[in-house]
Amino acid sequence: MTSTIRNRALSATELQGFAAELDAVRARTVATLGQRDADYIRAVAAAVRWIGLGGRLLLMVGAIGGAFLPALLWPACIAGTLLLALSKILENMELGHNVMHGQFDWTGDPRLNGQGYEWDIAGTSDNWRKTHNHHHHTWTNVRGMDDDIGYGLLRLFPEQRWKPFHLFQPVIAVVFAVLFEWGIAIQDLRLGRWFAGKLRFAQLREQFRPVGRKMGRQVLRDYVLWPLLAGPFFLPVLLGNVVANVLRNLWTYTVIFCGHFTADAETFSRESVRNESRGQWYLRQLRGSSNLTGGRLMNLMTGNLSHQIEHHFFPDIPANRYAAMAVEVREICARHGQHYNTGSMPTQFGQVIWRILRHAFPSRSRASVPMTQASA
């Protein structure tokens, strides 16, 4: 599956205009931020709490009540597991991810402060802000600078060096999806450097301490304390928590991979971002991103990362505004001859699967369209 998209190379003047139009979209949106946006994210936070509590209570009802009324066991436990998974997905995608980007710092609410928020996942928020907010969003899809390109495990682009290890990546990709939160948790530890002898064990141990504490708290809460509350009927509660976390992992993995690794997504060399202009930065974000169609429900369930292009353009703008901004962004891209990559989740994830399978084997890089026209 090879991309047939043809982006037009822009002149320096066109690049400047492209950036100015997108900056104007941002400015108009910032000028209208207010109580409606604050009320929205607080409603999401409340929904996360109550849906999560409802899920945990249903697991208890199913586990304890099911011991005396067997017909209650499966319906209550399945419903409880799904509600708990929904709560975790909403917390990670629409609440935690967006709050940690500083999208609601302007509210002055300490509960919505991007630097102080800690989310419901195995990894620490500090590590996420470093690897994601800084490394990924600054150097989106730049090889050797954006650690999210394959997460150090997968070869998803022909420009990445092939190793025999990659032959196993169809299996590794499945395991990574199931354990996604744990992979994200250890991403900043750079274990490859330790294996290569470039990092001393004492340094690795020091870096692991905050991560280990966060992992321990997550395990203690989900896999020890809540099951213990069910007493001798702990097993359904334990399994419900395991399944809820796996469902969250699979969903977040799918959304993130659909946003970055479809057939039309590109990667970039370090040399290409030297002296990068604002317009070139916008073009790099556009060509390395993919959107998802699906309407309001898809937007909510993905934390509005269904608008990955807009998120990469405006990471600190409240994500509930992306759908409206996307109308203008798409028109601007069309006027400047740039492909706006969007499609359904089955279509986009099918392309991701193709990348995983194809680039498990040696492959050659394709010629890419330059961002700017050659100087006369």
Pairwise CA distance, residues 135 & 143, whole Å: 11
Pairwise CA distance, residues 160 & 365, whole Å: 9
Sort residue 20 into left (φ over 0), alpha (ψ -120 to 50) or beta.
alpha
List 372's β-bridge partners, or say none: 10
What are the DSSP calls for 144-196, one per residue? TT-TTSGGGT---STTSPP-GGGGGHHHHHHHHHHTHHHHHHTGGG-HHHHHT
Pairwise CA distance, residues 287 & 339, whole Å: 8
Q: 35-60 and 234-260 are packed helices; what angle lies between their axes, rounded to 10 degrees?
A: 140
pLDDT of residue 104: 98
Helix (H) / strand (E) containing 216: helix 201-220
pLDDT of residue 5: 63
Is residue 147 within 8 Å of 134, Cβ to Cβ? no
Render each residue's pLDDT in the chain as its tens digit; 376 residues. 555 567 899 999 999 999 999 999 999 999 999 999 999 999 999 999 999 999 999 999 999 998 889 888 999 999 999 999 999 999 999 999 999 999 999 999 999 999 999 999 999 999 999 999 999 999 999 998 998 999 989 999 999 999 999 999 999 999 999 999 999 998 888 776 676 677 788 887 888 899 999 999 999 999 999 999 999 999 999 999 999 999 999 999 999 999 999 999 999 999 999 999 999 999 999 999 999 999 999 999 999 999 999 999 999 999 999 999 999 999 999 999 999 999 999 999 999 999 999 999 999 877 666 666 655 4
Sort residue 374 into left (φ over 0), alpha (ψ -120 to 50) or beta.
beta
pLDDT of residue 4: 56
Give the position of tokens 């949106």: 29
Pairwise CA distance, residues 10 & 76, whole Å: 58
Pairwise CA distance, residues 193 & 195, whole Å: 5
pLDDT of residue 207: 84
What are the DSSP calls for 58-113, one per residue? HHHIIIIIHHH-HHHHHHHHHHHHHHHHHHHHHIIIIIIHHHHTTTTGGG--GGG-
Give per-residue burial for 275-310: e unless 16+ CB within 10 Å, then b. eeeebbbbbbbbbbbbbbeeeeebbbbbbbbbbbbb
Between the CA of residue 243 and those of 249, 265, 371, what are the distances in Å?
A: 10, 32, 45
pLDDT of residue 187: 86
pLDDT of residue 376: 43
pLDDT of residue 373: 61
Pairwise CA distance, residues 172 & 179, whole Å: 10
226: nearest Cα among 347, 27, 53: 53
10: which DSSP letter? Answer: B
pLDDT of residue 1: 58
pLDDT of residue 7: 86
Give the position of tokens 């269904």: 306
Total number of residues shown for the chain: 376
pLDDT of residue 202: 81
